[in-house]
Amino acid sequence: MFTNNREASGEIHCEDPKDFRKLYDATMQLLFKVSYRIVNDEEAAEDLVHDSYIKANEKKMVFPSLDDAKFWLIRVVKNASLNYAKRKVREANAYHKVLYEGRQQMESGETELLKAETVEKVKAALDQLPPKMKEVLVLREYGGLNYKEIGETLGITEGNVKVRVFRAREQLTKLIGDGDVYMP
Domain ranges of the chain: 10-101, 113-176
- The CATH fold assigned to 113-176 is Arc Repressor Mutant, subunit A (1.10.10)
Q: Residue 108 has what pLDDT?
A: 53
* Predicted local distance difference test score (pLDDT) of residue 170: 87
The answer to whether the CB of 126 falls within 8 A of the CB of 137 is yes
- pLDDT confidence of residue 107: 46
Right CATH for 10-101 from 1.10.3470, 2.60.120, 1.10.1740, 1.20.950: 1.10.1740
Which pLDDT belongs to residue 9? 61
Let me know the angle formed at the C-alpha of 182 by 181 and 184, rounded to the nearest 5 degrees: 150
Measured between alpha carbons, how far is 91 from 126 in angstroms, rounded to an integer? Answer: 19
* Predicted pLDDT of residue 55: 92
Which amino acid makes up residue 125?
A
Beta strands at 62-63 and 12-13: parallel, antiparallel or unpaired? antiparallel
pLDDT value of position 60: 92
CB atoms within 10 A of CB 133: 21
Instruction: From first to last of the 184 residues of the chain, give the pLDDT tens digit.
Output: 344 444 556 899 998 999 999 999 999 999 999 999 999 999 999 999 999 999 999 999 999 999 999 999 999 999 999 999 998 888 877 766 655 554 444 445 667 777 777 777 877 888 888 888 888 888 888 788 899 999 998 899 999 999 998 998 888 888 887 655 555 5
pTM above 0.75, yes or no: no
